[in-house]
C-alpha cells in the first residue's frame, strides 16, 4: 500500500492546498494530510482548528486522512509506514526552502522521497497569509478557500483584529 504524507501548516487550508491534495491522492492508496505542530511560524489558528477546517474541507474523500504531528517529518512518515512527502511549489521563491528541506530529509532518511507538485495556474499567488490578510480586512475570500470553512475563517480573523 502506497501511503503518502502532505505536511504543512495549513493556517488555514486554501484551495491551493486542496488542488495539491486531490492531485496527490490520485497517485497513492492513502494520503495523510498532516498539520505540523511547532513550525517556526506563529500560527493564527490552533492545531485543533486547523485539523477541524481540513476535516470539513476534505469530508467525503475516501483515501484521505487528516492528522497532526510534532517532531521530524521523516520520523512521522516512518511511524505511518509512509514512503513519500508531498510538497507544493508556486513561484521560484518556494524553491530554495523546499530544496533545503528535501535534501535534509533525504540525508536523514534515504528511503523517503519528496515529490513536488507544481501549483495550478489559478493558485499561483494564493497562500494562507493572503487569505488571512483579506479575511482580516473585509476582503473577499470566495474561491480562495473551500466554501464550508469560509465563514469560520472570516470570523476568526475579524475577532483577532478587534
**Residue ranges in contact with ligand ADP by CB under 6 A:** 8-10, 14, 16-17, 20, 39, 41, 87-90, 94, 119, 123, 126-128
Contact in structure between 85 and 58 (CB atoms under 8 Å)? no
Beta bridge partners of 34: 7, 67
Q: Which of 30, 55, 78, 90 is catalytic?
A: 90
| Known catalytic residue at 42 | no
Of 16 and 146, which CB lies nearer to ligand ADP in the complex structure?
A: 16
Shortest distance, position 54 Cβ to ligand ADP, whole Å: 10
Query: Could you give the CA distance from residue 51 to residue 59 in angstroms, rounded to a whole number?
Result: 12
Which residue among 2, 39, 41, 129 is the active-site one? 41
> Is 90 tagged catalytic?
yes
Minimal distance, residue 18 CB to ligand ADP, in Å: 9
Least Cα distance to 75 among 47, 36, 31 occurs for 36
- Closest CB 137 distance from ligand ADP, rounded Å: 20
**Which grid cell sits at 141?**
475570500
Examine the residue annotation and report whether 128 is marked as an active-site residue of this protein: yes
Active site residue 152: no
- Residues tagged active-site: 17, 41, 90, 128
Amino acid at each position: 500500500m502506497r501511503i503518502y504524507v502532505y505536511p504543512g501548516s495549513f493556517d488555514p487550508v486554501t484551495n491551493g492546498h486542496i488542488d495539491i491534495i486531490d492531485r496527490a491522492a490520485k497517485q497513492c492508496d492513502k494520503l495523510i494530510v498532516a498539520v505540523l505542530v511547532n513550525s517556526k511560524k506563529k500560527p493564527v489558528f490552533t492545531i485543533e482548528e486547523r485539523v477541524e477546517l481540513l476535516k470539513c474541507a476534505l469530508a467525503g474523500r475516501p483515501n484521505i486522512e487528516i492528522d497532526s504531528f510534532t517532531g521530524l517529518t521523516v520520523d512521522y512518515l516512518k511511524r505511518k509506514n509512509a514512503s513519500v512527502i508531498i510538497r507544493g511549489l508556486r513561484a521560484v521563491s518556494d524553491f530554495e526552502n523546499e530544496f533545503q528541506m528535501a535534501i535534509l530529509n533525504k540525508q536523514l532518511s534515504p528511503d523517503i522521497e519528496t515529490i513536488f507538485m507544481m501549483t495550478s495556474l489559478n493558485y499561483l499567488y494564493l497562500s494562507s497569509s493572503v487569505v488571512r490578510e483579506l479575511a482580516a480586512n473585509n476582503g473577499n475570500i470566495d474561491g480562495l478557500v473551500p466554501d464550508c470553512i469560509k465563514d469560520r475563517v472570516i470570523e476568526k480573523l475579524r475577532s483577532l483584529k478587534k
